[in-house]
Chains A and B, each alone.
Chain A
């Protein structure tokens, strides 16, 4: 099965199957495989079937939207009216938002069907999906391994064919890294391209929503639905949204692609480097003009990122206090007890760690040394990219230093876990768009290649990825779930 979004759209349009039928197929597949993979925190079966029936009726009436009847899974940090939004945390285990995120509204507007809410690292903090209150997600290619994080449930669900596409968010690599680990295609758009309204914040200046799918072609379709200015998000952009699908065929002949030497240096598994080298050769054959570039401040990105993201999250997560919604401890003796125990019981270890570090970084006497310094470094990192884009159209890099690691392998070593994001994090600091697409395997696990574009050049990224996917079939490989 594992149909593509575009395939489902065509099948529905031709009347080969109904939305109810295809939705039931996916729900059945979820029922079969989710117990092993744990991709979903909530399955909204009844809602999905209602939406599917509605979509079929809309189509019959000649009112089919661009994603009419297509089943989609959403990361469990997009607020969904009437369906629990847990953010992978005990503190929101009982939280049902009374509103839809803008992104969810867009999918509804375009006729998509919501299958359920996918598993994730608690509050999107993590690179392995092991920090979820609902347990880790298994990588469909090898269930002993992690799917990556924080959007691990979404990536694994698409890889396993439990959903043809899913949404995710990317604060430091949370779309691209799990896409790489699970062998699917994922894009993190330019900061401000997709509304953050109703998307539970981790690092507000870094967070950006985006799609997972099997191909760049599918991602183009999904991004079309997701992108656009939202008056409810002051940081969303008024930049016009191009027709991504229409531009897929523009090819990459003559496109100048830069390889940052700092990304192909020590730390990158040489077997991955070889796989990526093959993909680069393919691009060269397609007419891309490949050259080496330098992003000299790359080494600063991890410390910079962790100061900014943690500072922002320490403030963003203050609203989870047991007063108005979410988990509240039993029988608080006073206000302080209510705060301490509600938050102490509600948050997991990694979330607590980041809140503490962020609180420290913003404290009187430390602000200048950490937060302010990090903002200065952030500008330097951004300048690196701006300089690079004066000479190249796209930048190509590995998505991750290695393939998916074993569940539990890095849980006791947060720094090693943070280093997972080394190739992805600087884009979030710069606000640039990036995507990951599958380019091969090492040890039977997928390898992702990252493409980085200039501001609002998602169309250029998708077109380059599409060109590659026209001459390769890595993105069509599916894991064998029966073995």
Chain B
């Protein structure tokens, strides 16, 4: 196993979040009744013509600028010719020789402290096809063309990844970036963000690439990792058994956790690309690029560096916080109310909140605890209204929808006891009830102090301020 190296490149299709389609005025909204969002142009009716939606171009440029890519002043749409029932015109309008976005790169962090640059070969615009529906009509296939003509940005990486983990880190990074840029909703279940993986293996030290297989039908990051790992092992086993990898397209079957052959290179279509005569070359001026650059939001890498520089967060925490735009926005919103408590907020967001989200499968934007609620909770620990331990109870109650931290503290009577005389009374009672332990402590057994603290906290139902309890106990036991 260790003699082998895997080489992976990804092709990512990101559906662009335009209001209308790339070449028609029909809506791109997901989930409508079949064929209600397909106009004559999407249906490929005779005589109709495409007109480019400039917003899709702007979104592609946004992406290009964000990955530091070359953006040529001219780019060309080409026809990719093949027959399929959900491809109405018998060709897909895509880009071939002159894509909008040229070479760029992105930095990934596959594990804590690790960094790697991944090259992006190109990103081009194309229209999505419709959907074939095989399970609704006996002996017939339904065609839904609502999706036909939805703009896609196809992002092609260099074969720079060496493990499934790196591939997932890259895919997540692109996913995060397109969401930061607000050019794609990133919804993998609805197919707004799709990954195909090109996988090959070679013996370590070899420079030539092995024959690759293209893996399709992967609709989650988990499946991406599994599909690649399965494929790497399949190829290694094949070669070690004296076989040869053939260039082919393979489908990933999530239920059986395997890939299987869909079509070989010989069966592959000759797409007969040629420039689409219905569309003029796209002209992009330096001014267009400058304007889009100026409008870019703060990107994950910039955010991360700011968190490290201004907020003194660790590299690791900053990376985790910025990996998902919604998490970063949650953090920043909470920080408005508790600007001095960034470290504590980070611990709660990456700790209890992340845990609760994970448990329930919720998205942070749908969490029952809002940024101001978390900020208030953290503030109550800081001002000693509650202890960290009680705070966990308050957090749970907030998650269950019992209201704000203050309301829960009030309703459940969780306010910390900081009145010294009240604490002294409790301590006196505990000392009186445990003469043996008092003797032991005075004989030099320091450890017994912990017993006393525990007893006092127990008597106070956790509400006594632990710092005060400690200090007063030491004083009284002297």
| A375 to B168 Cα, complex, angstroms | 43
Determine the distance from Cα of A199 to Cα of B278 in the docked complex, in whole angstroms. 12
Q: Besides A318-B83, A318-B90, 15 other CB < 8 A contacts? A: A77-B47, A99-B45, A196-B49, A198-B47, A234-B278, A235-B279, A311-B274, A314-B81, A315-B90, A315-B91, A319-B44, A321-B85, A324-B44, A324-B45, A335-B141
- Whether B272 lies near A359 (C-beta < 8 A) is yes
Stretch at the interface among A146-154, A172-180, A362-370: A362-370
Considering only CB atoms and an 8 Å cut-off, how many residues of chain B contact the other chain?
29
In chain A, residues 413-448, which have Cβ atoms closer than 8 Å to a Cβ of chain B? Answer: none
Which residues on A sit within 8 Å (CB–CB) of B280? 234-235
Of the candidates A79, A317, A318, the one whose C-beta lies within 8 Å of that of B47 is A79
List B residues at the A interface (Cβ < 8 Å): 40, 43-52, 79, 81, 83, 85, 88-91, 141, 143, 270, 272-274, 277-280
- Across the interface, do A315 and B274 meet the contact criterion of CB distance under 8 Å? yes
Question: Which B residues touch A205, using CB under 8 A?
Answer: 277
Interface of A is mostly: loop
Q: Are A232 and B272 neighbours in the complex by a CB distance under 8 Å?
A: no
B270 near A335: Cβ-Cβ < 8 Å: no
* Interchain nearest-CB distance for A333 vs B (Å): 11
Are A318 and B85 touching (Cβ within 8 A)?
Answer: no
Cβ of A92 under 8 Å from chain B: yes
Whether B270 contacts A321 by the Cβ 8 Å rule is no
Number of inter-chain CB pairs below 8 Å:
104
Known contacts being A232-B49, A234-B52, is A315 close to B272, with CB within 8 Å? yes
User: Chain B contacts of A196 at CB under 8 A?
Assistant: 47, 49
Q: Across the interface, do B277 and A312 meet the contact criterion of CB distance under 8 Å?
A: yes
Residue among B48, B90, B270, B273 making CB contact with A197, cutoff 8 Å: B48
Measured between beta carbons, the chain B residues less than 8 angstroms from A324 are 43-45, 88, 143
- Is residue A450 contacting chain B, with contact meaning CB distance below 8 A? no
Per DSSP, chain B at the interface is loop
Q: Does A325 contact B (CB under 8 A)?
A: yes
Give the residue of B51, B81, B88, B279 whose beta carbon is less than 8 angstroms from that of A231: B51
**A39 close to B (CB within 8 Å):** no
A95–B46 contact, CB under 8 A?
A: yes
User: Which A residues lie within 8 Å of B79 (CB)?
Assistant: 315
In the complex, which range does the number of interface residues on chain A fall in? 35 or more
Which residues of chain B come closer than 8 Å to A79, judged between CB atoms? 45-47
Q: Which of B43, B47, B91: most chain A Cβ within 10 A?
A: B47
Residues of B within 8 A of A321 (CB): 83, 85, 90
Contact A363 B270 (CB under 8 A): yes
Report the nearest B residue to A199, measured CB to CB: B47
Chain A contacts for B47, CB-based, 8 A: 77-79, 85, 97, 101, 196-201
Complex Cα distance A371/B79, Å?
14
Closest chain B residue, CB of each to CB of A230: B49
Mask: chain A, 89-113; 1 = CB below 8 Å from B; 0 = not: 0001001011101000000000000
For A200, the chain B residues whose CB sits under 8 A away are: 46-47
Of chain A, the residue at the smallest CB distance from B90 is: A318
- Docked pose: A232 CA to B279 CA in angstroms: 11
Chain A residue nearest to B52 (CB atoms) is A234
- Decide if A233 is an interface residue (CB 8 Å cutoff): yes
A229 lies within 8 A of chain B by Cβ: no
Q: Please report the C-alpha to C-alpha distance between residue A85 and residue B44 in the assembled complex, in whole angstroms.
A: 15
CB proximity to B under 8 Å, residues A300-357: 311-312, 314-315, 317-321, 323-325, 335, 339
Which A residues, 186 to 202, have Cβ-Cβ distances below 8 Å to chain B? 196-201
Contact string against B for A residues 367-404, beta-carbon threshold 8 Å, 1 for contact and 0 otherwise: 10001000000000000000000000000000000000
Closest to B43 in A: A324
A469 at the A/B interface (Cβ < 8 Å)?
A: no
- Chain B residues with Cβ under 8 A from A323's Cβ? 85, 88, 143
